[in-house]
Chains A and B, each alone.
Chain A
Amino acid sequence: MNAPFRKSDLRQPRVLDPLVFGDNQFFGVNHASESKAREQLIRFSTDEAIIEVLDAAYAEGIRAFMCTTHDRIAAICEHVRANPGRYEGFKFYPSMPYAHKYANAVTDLGMMGAMQKFLPNDNLFGTMLRGVASVATKDIGGMAKLLVDAEMKMFKGLDTPVIFLQNVVVDLLLGLNATPLLRAFADHVRERYDAEPGFITMNLTRLLPALEKAGVHRPVVCANINKAGFRMSGGIEAYLAALRNSDAQVMAMSVFASGAIPAEEAIAWIADVPNVQSVVFGASSRTNIARTSALAAKYLEHAA
């Protein structure tokens, strides 16, 4: 059995930045309002608008950007690659896949059609052959590696110390009991990208023991953790108990529960949750970024 784990027990260097900038606001993801989501989609319809907000986050001392592998992120990556002087120490935490792209393709093309559509087909004959062979031999692990590699292409040459698997995939595999595939993702990310594998989940209390059983040690996990108990499956008490007894490196998201909790109250609360190393948040204005950044500095251990 694991002994109760405390922040002070950390011997290994922490991999997560204490405050991480998220990208939901850029792509019309808002859990409380479709109309706000639409306004944001319109506001961020140009790459320049996204870069302006990222620059504001950088100016406020934020150095980590957690982003879905949305097509538009490729342009942001290109911009950062082209201006290394402006983004010293800037890190990307890719989170893959951008699931709606796949879900809509499955609806349109069927399961195998979608697989074939998204396997890399960049004229690298070998890659294609491996893809075809993977489909034919039902080598799901092999296919998954190819999909990871395809999604990682846009980050070439950039610092990606943590690579996340999106909750829709993590939680699906968890429900299917296909946890060896979570392990396969972890191994591939460590071996191929020398990065820490991260797992986004809406089911933290189930995921932690499953990862341990699959042999993924000290995993990076990202989950909704907020005072309102919003989208904390199984309830807030179960989450707190699981966190208390875990050696995972935990990043909290939805800390404000989509605006349901006042900012200071939310950050003060999360600071007392055991084993939370990091908070990911989204904002569209420098004022809001500065406010969250100041609250993090005030309440979160290790924050700038």
Chain B
Amino acid sequence: MVRIGVVGLGKMGISHLAILGANRAAQVTALCDENGLVLDVLAGYTEAKKFKKYEQMLQSGLVDAVLIATPPALHEPMVRAALEHGIAVFCEKPFMLGWREAEALSALADERGLVNQVGYHNRFVGTFAEVKRLLDAGALGRVTHARAEAYGPVVLKQKGSTWRSRATQGGGCLYDYAAHPLNLLTWYFGAPSGVSGSMRRSIFSADADDEVYSTLHFANGPSAHLSVNWSDESQRKMTTSVTLWGENGNLFADRQELRLFLRKPVPGLDGYDTGWSLRDTTQLTPTVDYYLRGEEYSAQLDHFIDTVARRGSANRSSFRSAAETDRAIEMIVKDAA
């Protein structure tokens, strides 16, 4: 049984808490939030010990792992403190506000041999994982260009009162939304070697960007266009997609479906013939034990708990991979300045 503490009981923290509550290999033994109200409300339903001070939770001896779902500006000291106490860490995205901090914490986690993961849940979405498999099998041949997009209806008028509306706190469309398609690009092609033509613009927000566009360059790899807008009311909810072009064909994937066009079949890729192949989430998504908002949210935590329980090291969304995303974000910040 992995004993885990959850810190930061906002939207993501509460969602993770429910998923962990249903995970039979995990036991939530501690909760931490500076807002006593949320703690009090949850108190009636859990045996977990409540902490207002994070340091006390780490020192309590009650947790083997922590899940950090606080605002991004608090991630650095919290992740560091947990690692220094020898505690495995699952941290929400965006990971760090600077990529050097991300690199340093990645190194610290590796040095201590501690399981580390960042909540880039798209890596646990069936379609996006299938894209990774197809690319690793060389389905598209040499990939020449990628388009990564995300649109959603978050900021639709002039206001905003939380950290998400302040770019300096890790809010804004780039950190909060664009991080997802960027993370897919770095999963598929590694860290970018450079970016150009970046724009971060406000549509409604006073202190943050609502739309982000950039061209990314990957050494010996494709070029990529990033297009992200979280003030798009035509979207029902966040929609993330990637479109890739290669010498042997092209593909499109979002959370629901994957459309692949192959010029010629690829040895070892059964079921994908010349021409169009369509797959959807009903075929590509393994059933989870407990479902809340999407299989990927459960799958990523199952993966984390399982890795901690096995004392494993491999992780599908490690600090190191998140540091590549943080680095791409920082490049865009500088390029757009």
Residue positions of A touching B, CB distance < 8 A: 27-35, 37, 41, 100, 103-104, 106-113, 138, 140, 168, 171-178, 180, 202-203, 206, 228-235, 257-258, 260
Contacts and interface: CB of A to CB of B under 8 A. Distances in A.
Contacts of B256: 30-34, 37
Nearest to B162: A110
Contact of B287 (A107, A138, A232): A232
A230 B41 CA distance: 34
Interface in B145-184: 153-155, 159-162, 164-165
A203 B287 CA distance: 11
B281 A31 contact: yes
Contact of A257 (B161, B282, B288): B282
B10 interface: yes
Given A34-B256, A180-B45, A232-B287, 14 more contacts: A34-B241, A34-B255, A37-B236, A41-B236, A104-B154, A106-B11, A107-B162, A108-B160, A138-B37, A203-B290, A233-B289, A233-B290, A234-B287, A260-B283
B40 interface: yes
Interface of B: 10-11, 14-15, 17-22, 37-38, 40-42, 44-46, 153-155, 159-162, 164-165, 234, 236-237, 239, 241, 254-257, 280-283, 287-293, 295
13 contacts: A34-B256, A34-B257, A41-B236, A104-B154, A107-B11, A108-B155, A108-B165, A109-B161, A113-B161, A168-B292, A171-B292, A174-B18, A235-B287
A111 B283 contact: no
Contacts of B234: 41
Contact of B280 (A29, A32, A110): A32
Contact of A175 (B164, B280, B290): B290
B292 A34 contact: no
A32 B279 CA distance: 9
Contacts of B37: 112, 138
B287 A231 contact: yes
B11 A103 contact: yes
A30 B239 CA distance: 13
Contacts of A176: 14, 17-18, 21, 42, 45-46
A113 B44 CA distance: 23
B257 A32 contact: yes
A37 B236 CA distance: 10
Nearest to B40: A138
Q: Which of B19, B37, B254, B292 has the most CB of A within 10 A?
A: B292
